Amino acid sequence: MECTSHPGYAAAGACPRCGQPLCADCLAAHQQVPGACPATAPAPRPRPNFTALWILAGVLVLCLTVLLVVAYVTSRAAAPAPASVPAVAPDLGPPPVQSPAATVSRETTALQTALADHYGWQGQVTWHQDDWSEARVSIGPSLSDLRLSRSLWWDQQQQGFRIIAEKPIAAPTSPTAPVGPGQQAAAAAARQQDPGWVVRIIAHSNDWGTVTLWTGPPNSEFVNAYRFHWDTGLAQYVLDHAGTVGESAGGPPAGE
């Protein structure tokens, strides 16, 4: 049973006058005012506002959900990315050069540009600027037979070399071989024995048919002594004796 004056509240007893059910507050009021009836009872007490409680609970749940989402996103951002295995790309040759600082790639690109229209030829870089903005490459059927020298310029916009000039490489001229006995042929014969050493002619016959020479390292004393004679059939000097400076056999031949 509910209180007659306060619906929603359980009755704690009955009015002693009219017998209507009353809550504890109403019974207390009747005890203070004997003979009181529900008509003179206090105004009904307000019932709890359950709607406000539900709204407050919803707000709290929403805030908690937002906090959980923010914490999850933050932890995912701070975690290191898992290592991935790079995909194997097909072998399409060296990648294009993108930076002047890549010296090795820039040299490779220069060679490829210089050899682009000469399939099967070889080349070598003979000169370049420190930043590889310009370079010069010699090319030919082989490295021992280089025939063209090409000047290259780095096109920053195209990220590649351009050929701006070329010229043929002159074949080296060999020194004229001596045609008879003499100082040049005698010195050449001595240098064949000691390449790179200094040669000094000590004595020779009037017709340069025989000659004695000393050899030694540059900026040093002479070490070896040689005696040659000119062989007309071979058209060259032939070694007769080899020794060291100071030996009697290394001195001038008799009659010179």
pLDDT band at 39 (very low <50, low <70, confident <90, very high): low
| Mean residue pLDDT across the chain | 79
More confident residue, 82 or 160: 160
pLDDT at 216 over 60: yes
Q: What are phi and psi of 167, to 5 degrees?
A: -150, 150
- Say whether pLDDT at 237 is over 90: yes
pLDDT value of position 144? 83
Answer yes or no: is pLDDT of 50 > 90. no
* Calculated CA dihedral for residues 181, 182, 188, 191, nearest 10 degrees: 120
Higher-pLDDT residue of 77, 104:
77
Q: Give yes or no for a contact between 133 and 153, defined as CB atoms under 8 angstroms apart.
A: yes
**Distance of alpha carbon 256 from alpha carbon 207, whole angstroms:** 11
Say whether pLDDT at 67 is over 90: no
DSSP 185: H
180 vs 92, higher pLDDT? 180
β-strand partners of 138 = 124, 149
> Average pLDDT of 96-103?
49
Predicted local confidence at residue 95, as pLDDT = 47
Rounded Cα distance between 234 and 185, Å, is 13
